[in-house]
Amino acid sequence: MDRGRGVYSPLFETKKGRGRLIYRLFSISLFTAISFIWLYRFNHIITTNYTQQEEDGGKLVWFGMLAAELWFGFYWFLTQAFRWNLVFRQPFKDRLSQRYEHMLPEVDIFVCTADPEIEPPMMVINTVLSVMAFDYPSEKLSVYLSDDGGSEITFYALLEAATFAKHWLPFCKRFKVEPRSPAAYFNGIKDTNIANELVAIKKLYNEMEKRIEDATKLKRVPQEARLKHKGFSQWDSYSSKRDHDTILQILLHKKDHDNSKDVHGFMLPTLVYLAREKRPQYHHNYKAGAMNSLLRVSSIISNGKVILNVDCDMYSNNSESIRDSLCYFMDEEKGHEIAFVQSPQAFENVTKNDLYASALLAIAEVEFHGADGCGGPLYIGTGCFHKRESLCGMKFSDEYRHNWKSEDNLSTEETLHELEEKSKGLASCSYEENTQWGKEMGLKYGCPVEDVITGLSIQSNGWKSVYYNPARKAFLGVAPTSLLQVLIQHKRWSEGDFQILFSKYSPAWYAFGKINLSLQMGYCAYCLWAPNCLATLFYSIIPSLYLLKGIPLFPKISSPWFIPFAYVIIGETIYSLLEFMLSGGTFEGWWNDLRIWLYKRTSSYLYAFSDTILKLFGFSDSLFTITAKVSEEEVVERHEKEIMEFGTSSPMFTILATLALFNLFCFLNVLKNAILRDGGFGAYEKMGLQVILCGFLVLINLPLYQGLFLRKDSGKLPSSLAMKSTTLALALVLSFTFNLYDKKKDL
């Protein structure tokens, strides 16, 4: 080994991001400007006397503006933690092979699915096939599919996949296929003049696809398949998705020699189907519950020391990612302290200008690199490699060294059937009673973002994590293709993150002294997504209302106090645009990102905020709404054309539409007065910023007005919603104008 000769050549290197000095200077200057804004408000509040207050709208409004700006400033400050110190990682796979090829560890891969309708079996098995085909010794790989849908069709599809794998894996290895999800691979082939082997494998795939799709449509498994495989008998006692015994089937395993080899006679990875036991009287804890069952079941079947977890839509886009992540874990100097290696959550179906900001560019390309510089990124549930030990709750200690050589003591005597029966017990509902599962062991229960809270607790146990984000993304999934889906997903995320703040594992206090202070700050920034709704709502209503009333809430353009406002607005705009474009986005994409930023804050976060508060008082319970992964053809077409998809009524849309229309009315009023009144726009000289803010809110909402009034397709907003929100917005405007009128009369 290199180390023996005194030169240590690491398995990975870490580079610091460029331009950090410039960024830090900018950040300090921006903070100074923010402080001046605070000072301006504060000064105004304490120096205005009573009569002036009548003119400037009253103390309350100024307090509100101060509060909103204090919040924005404070929140901005938190987000600096992950921009202060970016790092970029690079693994050296050739060194890994040289040193460890003969002793690579066993890797267990967990794929989770929950509903055959939202997550079609064809999609699920494409993910399964892509991870079975990793460039890694097959006898050291085990793939587990957890099916919370307990679906016979999914099981049938997996059986089909096991057979197809016998052809697909050798094909991938022979032709170095990339990516190894058959659907994605075939999709990417444009060349018409293709090799015979490809024609043959594609034919096999299409036949399989047809069988599975037919079964999916009919919601029934073909009789001959049912007779051929004993596994189906496990559904005999099945009463519903929420009420059934553990269904567990080892489909491929070295103990079942003859059935588990590919067409060239090489052993295939172990493949297991698991639908854990479900009973109405036991809470199943969603994905966290599924993962914990998988952890236990896999511990007696393969007991891989490294675990990869992917969602069922997240296929492997790079066959070498296991080796990449092992470079981090197996590095002789630093590997022992690393608990998990997270890849970005990237998507196959984002369009050029990313209408719904699904790529989360700022997070994936900037903030997570920053988190990595503060001790490690968050665990985000998919595309993550874990050490089994740390995921199961082990605390880090300096003496700890992982023994990659150790043989595991899996029993070799028992038959496959005995092994299956033994494993079933580990996935039963009652197994976890009076144990630490869901608390100190495995994934944490009770939080809609089980991933983030689990990652935080691992880091609080002393471990580090690594963010590996190469140009070719390791995994690709399906991003939602309608606005409502996006808003609902973000409601779950922001609600879950907000709950973490109040949980036992709060980054604000529990983590104190356990993780880096800047990592604590960064976590808090995510946990505080939800309360952002308050300041944002205030800012998108009050200044426009006062514009209507003709009362300025910001300094006028000629005042020196205008400078800090201008600096913050221009500085942040230019910076965020630069950040977005340097992260690979487009100008239009940035504009779309801003819109979604606003929509999330005024709807998803508002719901998350109020639900969390209700939950704190015991009034409600959080649910896990599964994100749709298929949509109708029309919807897909509109998505490809980047036309915003509304389609239904939702209270969230009512809020967005009302706010948009309200600002439109305010802005039209400005225009009207500018034209009709003497002095034209001059009258607004005092209120430049309010006009700009209101104008911005109108401009950014253009697609929404189209959806309300101009579009005819089925993705528009329903006309009932248009009526409702117009009425509400008008009522808001009118009540305020009358109120004004009354006051004037009183005077």
173 residue type, one letter: K
- Name the catalytic one among 245, 262, 451, 497: 451
Residue 277 interacting with ligand UPG (CB under 6 A): no
x/- map, 369-388, ligand UPG, by CB under 6 A: ------------xx------
Per CB under 5 A, contacts with Mn ion among 307-326 are 311
Give me the least distance between CB of 613 and ligand UPG, in Å please: 20
Give me the least distance between CB of 489 and ligand UPG, in Å please: 5
Of 287 and 296, CB closest to Mn ion:
287
Give me the least distance between CB of 327 and ligand UPG, in Å please: 24
Of 142 and 345, CB closest to ligand UPG:
345
Give me the least distance between CB of 215 and ligand UPG, in Å please: 19
- Name the catalytic one among 115, 148, 324, 331: 148
What is the total count of residues that contact ligand UPG (CB under 6 A)? 25
User: Which H or E element spans position 14?
Assistant: strand 12-16
Q: For 266-288, give the DSSP string.
A: PBPPEEEEEE--B-TTS---HHH
Give me the least distance between CB of 627 and ligand UPG, in Å please: 4
Tell me the C-alpha distance between 322 and 348, whole Å.
20
Instruction: Work out what residue 449 binds among ligand UPG, Mn ion, none; the CB cut-off runs from 5 to 8 Å by kind.
Output: ligand UPG
Residue 119 interacting with ligand UPG (CB under 6 A): yes
742 is catalytic: no
- Per-residue tokens: 371: 């988190």
Give me the least distance between CB of 215 and Mn ion, in Å please: 24
Residue ranges for the known binding site for Mn(2+) are: 287, 311
Tell me which stretch binds ligand UPG (CB under 6 A): 69-77, 107-115, 535-543, 550-558: 107-115
Of 64 and 381, CB closest to ligand UPG:
381
Q: For 192-221, give the DSSP string.
A: SS--HHHHHHHHHHHHHHHHHHHHHHHTS-
Give me the least distance between CB of 364 and ligand UPG, in Å please: 13
Of 290 and 301, CB closest to ligand UPG:
290
Tell me the C-alpha distance between 427 and 276, whole Å.
5
Residue 345 interacting with Mn ion (CB under 5 A): no
Instruction: Work out what residue 121 binds among ligand UPG, Mn ion, none; the CB cut-off runs from 5 to 8 Å by kind.
Output: none
Tell me the C-alpha distance between 119 and 117, whole Å.
5
Cis check: omega of the bond before 179, within 30 degrees of 0: yes
Per CB under 5 A, contacts with Mn ion among 671-690 are none
Of 311 and 324, CB closest to Mn ion:
311
Q: Which residue from 89, 140, 180, 287 is in contact with ligand UPG, where contact means CB under 6 A?
A: 287
Q: How many helices (H) and strands (E) does the chain have?
A: 27, 13
| Residue 148 neighbours by CB under 8 Å, 6+ apart | 112, 113, 114, 115, 241, 275, 276, 278, 284, 286, 287, 290
Distances from the Cα of 402 to the Cαs of 305, 309, 379, 388, 390, in angstroms? 10, 20, 21, 11, 11
Tell me the C-alpha distance between 565 and 569, whole Å.
6
Tell me which stretch binds ligand UPG (CB under 6 A): 18-26, 259-267, 282-290, 497-505: 282-290
Look-up of token digits 């400078």? 563
Of 34 and 346, CB closest to ligand UPG:
346
- Per-residue tokens: 491: 């409601």
- How many Cα atoms occupy the beta-carbon half-sphere of 531 within 13 Å? 16
Residue 520 interacting with Mn ion (CB under 5 A): no
Residue ranges for the known binding site for UDP-alpha-D-glucose are: 119, 148
Per CB under 6 A, contacts with ligand UPG among 712-741 are none
Range 449-476 burial, b when 16+ CB lie within 10 A, else e: bbbbbbbbbbbbbbbbbbbbbbeebbbb
- Per-residue tokens: 631: 């949509």
Per CB under 5 A, contacts with Mn ion among 258-317 are 311
Of 127 and 234, CB closest to ligand UPG:
127
User: Which H or E element spans position 127?
Assistant: helix 121-132
Tell me the C-alpha distance between 173 and 733, whole Å.
66
Give me the least distance between CB of 650 and ligand UPG, in Å please: 18
Of 33 and 479, CB closest to ligand UPG:
479
Q: Which residue from 27, 390, 506, 627 is in contact with Mn ion, where contact means CB under 5 A?
A: 627
- Per-residue tokens: 178: 């990339």
Closest by Cα among 476, 532, 493, 486 to 356: 486
593 is catalytic: no
Contact yes or no for 89/372 (Cβ under 8 A):
yes
Contact yes or no for 365/437 (Cβ under 8 A):
no
Q: Catalog residues that contact ligand UPG under the rule CB under 6 A.
A: 112-114, 119, 146, 148, 286-287, 290, 311-312, 345, 381-382, 448-451, 489, 492-493, 496, 624, 626-627
Give contact residues for Mn ion (rule: CB under 5 A): 311, 627
Known catalytic residues are 148, 451
